A and B are shown apart, each in its own frame.
Chain A
């Protein structure tokens, strides 16, 4: 139940600008999909919101400046699934998901029974129960990705940042993970920002798309408006057709053979 306001966010690495003056207001319960080609600045934006890179501009959660929050307070507001999480192979899935409860555990404290039951609950919902006691190093890429998502959900934050959360998942688990996020979003008014490479999924699950290229917003709005064949052709240098399902208005992006003349 939190509104996220981004005012002129810029991210720079040395003298390379990865994101230029990005502004947006994400109301509580909205799901925004970030799309754009490799290197567009999607991860940079998410990392800035997660507090992992220096940024110019200002961010507010329900009017509170994020720059003024300590690590712990921020972690109670924002959970983040990185594009390439660092997986400790010799940690069990349960222990790993339990790390998500850290923002609620005092400096000298340990995990409470409540913390453990939250973890159990998340594991059940992502159908990860059977993996609870398995080492992460012994899980498949997709199983691992779901465990990372579980860790973020165990954080029980009002804002969820997902960087390519489904890149390694098969079509069934992709749907399951995105449905779960949808369900949580509706039940708890979660605010979600996610980078997604699959444009059809991005269009289907999110409320609104923001397309970035070279650190700037190219287009923003509902999938129908953002995902046009010409724009995709120009930005991604790709040959696609875009179909709109006449029944429910879902936008389907279909890659076609052939190169776009440059």
Chain B
């Protein structure tokens, strides 16, 4: 009975993702008429041939410019949302998101480092050093948080860990501000990175983050049942036979790796990882068996769609996607809070 409801929800989620992908690939300032694009996709399937009137150069716009952006948006949105849902579950705290333990602040610092002090060294490099630096410092920050939190906490509540995260985030942000304030010439570049963007995404970017995201998502999905145990608190979960500290560590590592990987390419897209899990909870319930896959799909669809208005409002510069997500997402979330009863 419950499984049929699950399947129904997963079907709805998959349909949302598919619709978002089609819209995301079809709409844009240049390229073919929007309605020709879905037809052309069908045309490109093996054994099927229809006349769509899409030229090779138009198709190149769809395939080389829009599709990487759509796919990267899906990966980033899905990853941030499932990581956010996992963090919220493991810390039993609705206010935490995937950036809680310092992944975002660390990535920001890494990018700033690469764009300031690293500039002289890396300017001649063939590869862009920013994503690598962002990823490395993000992972390092979370490791510091965890070491500090575990050393002084050792408790089953995870509160110490959250507080350690707050300290690490403040510290990394301070270092970043310090660096920026001495290198104002890169301010614009860093700002653009911090606000997050999917513009200029390539298939190479997608290939860069995809392996991390897949591993992370698989590990998190495996832990859906464990996340439900966290809902009765660490103490009771322990008496129910869960190794709380180890399970929490596994989940946090998986969520952090995926988060660090996606933000190192997309920049810090806020709001998605915090809010999408809540929307899913309000609509489909709080059990993680449903919550995690639906957050993955909902986050992917949401970010792909949120990326569309930014392309159209591109004068003088593209509207940052983080602004769009909050602009659409916040009112929708408030609407849901009003119509659904929370916490019952």
Residues of A within 8 A of B (CB): 50-52, 70-72, 74-76, 78-80, 82, 85-91, 95-96, 99-100, 102-103, 105, 108, 110, 135, 137-138, 155
Contact = CB atoms under 8 A, between A and B. Distances in A.
Contacts of B287: 91, 95
A108 B229 CA distance: 14
Given A75-B241, A85-B232, A86-B235, 10 more contacts: A52-B235, A71-B243, A72-B243, A74-B239, A74-B241, A76-B241, A79-B239, A80-B236, A90-B285, A90-B344
Contacts of B235: 52, 82, 86
A105 B225 contact: yes
B285 A100 contact: no
A102 B231 contact: no
Interface residues of B, number: 22
Interface string B263-287: 0000000000000000001000111
Contact of B233 (A86, A90, A95): A86
A89 B242 CA distance: 21
Interface of B: 222, 225, 228-229, 231-233, 235-236, 238-244, 281, 285-287, 343-344
Contacts of A96: 232
B232 A80 contact: no
A148 to B, nearest CB: 9
A72 B344 contact: no
Pick from B222, B229, B238 the residue with the most CB of A within 10 Å. B238
A95 B5 CA distance: 15
Pick from A71, A74, A91 the residue with the most CB of B within 10 Å. A71
Nearest to A103: B241
A52 B233 CA distance: 12
A99 B243 CA distance: 14
B239 A75 contact: yes
Contacts of B239: 50-52, 74-75, 78-80
B236 A75 contact: no
B232 A108 contact: no
B240 A103 contact: yes
A262 B240 CA distance: 45
